Amino acid sequence: MKITQEIKENTVIMTLDGELDASSSVILDEELSDPEIMKYAKVLVNCQDLNYISSAGLGVFISHLQRFEDAQIKLIFYNMQDKVRNVFEILGLDLLMTIVSDYEEARTIANE
């Protein structure tokens, strides 16, 4: 799993590349726990190259969801592959999290 971050204005764009499993979810948790990320109003997660997500990976996102909501930080996922999106949908996480098709849509929703 490779995680890269890019800062644009008041937005963190986090790109996930590879498989998000029990071992790599620790890295994601560290990235999302970084106090610096709380300085931004929006976190957009590019999932284009995310090939697999385990329950541990989902758990990391779920564990930070409330903290982001409390801080009024928008967390938006985009470019999600069908097989990964299906995991979110099967577990009903698509009802709790904002998942859109592409960066432009994510940016539009983030700016609302």
Provide the 3-class DSSP secondary structure of residue 29: helix
What global pTM score does this model have? 0.95
Burial class (CB in 10 A: 0-12, 13-18, 19+), 105: middle
The Cα 54–Cα 100 span in angstroms is 20
Please list the pLDDT of the chain residue by residue as tens digits (112 residues): 999 999 998 999 999 999 999 999 999 999 999 999 999 999 999 999 999 999 999 999 999 999 999 999 999 999 999 999 999 999 999 999 999 999 999 999 999 9
